[in-house]
Amino acid sequence: MSNIIYSIFCNKKVNLPKLLQFGFVKTESDYIYHKTLSKSGFLLTVHVTSHGEVSAEIIDPSLNELYTLHLVDHATGGFVETVKYEYQEVLLEIAAQCFQTDIFQLKQSNKLIDYVRKTYGDELEFLWEKFPKNAIWRREDTQKWYGILLTVPKQKLGLPDDKTVEIFDFRILPEELEALVDYKTYFPGYHMNKKHWCTIILDGTVPFEEICRRIDASYLLAIK
């Protein structure tokens, strides 16, 4: 896999029906998409397996040969830059239209993502380029956040462990927060107002039904 493909499709999960909608053709082994690059006239072919593995090649039709200079880091020149730009633009469009972000790996994290999608119709928003493994949910009407998923070391929560975990921040009433926080299961909101937000680790310690109740209440608290 080239560095360009890796950088675009890293932490992405394929949506196979959307490949077909985009224009891919299903074969016995994978999905194939052909496109003539308008400025260079070269033919780009993209392959995606059913597991989401992506590969791509460019053919120079005048020579019927594989073109690879766009993959060479030190290659320069206007034409090479044009081909590289067109190549990346197509791959970025495929990533946007046919793949979804797949950062969070824990079972509870993915169950919560699915619950929010089905209950509120909201998708995670990845707002920070420097922190690509952190994301938020916000209400469509008020634009206020009601949930945050983050990937952090346990030490950030004050625990004696450097293991990386996935955590969930939710809104809560101050009086309820004070009674709930025990620094074992419930923590003051990580990177948020610690009087109005609470954090839990999505490792199964808190039952999923309880997590759903918490995000439902948080959604209501984000009304104003």
For residues 87 and 113, state if they share a domain. Answer: no
Write down which residue in 61, 78, 101 finishes a domain.
Answer: 101
Instruction: Say if residue 91 is in the same domain as residue 114.
Output: no
**Pair (147, 206) in one structural domain:** yes
Contact 24, 33 (CB under 8 A): yes
Q: In terms of domains, do 34 and 116 share one?
A: no
Number of separate domains in the chain:
2
pTM: 0.66
Cβ atoms of 46 and 90 within 8 Å: the answer is yes
Question: What is the domain range of residue 90?
Answer: 3-101
- Token pair in block for residue 146: 């009601």
> What CATH number did the domain enclosing 182 receive?
3.90.1150.30
Are 114 and 8 in the same domain? no
Same domain, 111 and 204: yes
95 lies in the same domain as 154: no
50 and 136 housed in the same domain: no
* pLDDT per position as a tens digit, 154-202: 988 888 888 999 999 999 999 999 899 999 899 998 888 888 999 999 9
Q: 74 and 150 share a domain?
A: no
Last residue of a domain, one of 63, 86, 101: 101
Question: Which residues does 145 contact at the CB level (< 8 Å), separation at least 6?
Answer: 136, 137, 138, 171, 222
Q: Which residues of the chain fall below pLDDT 50? A: none
Query: What is the pLDDT, as a whole number, of residue 130?
Result: 85
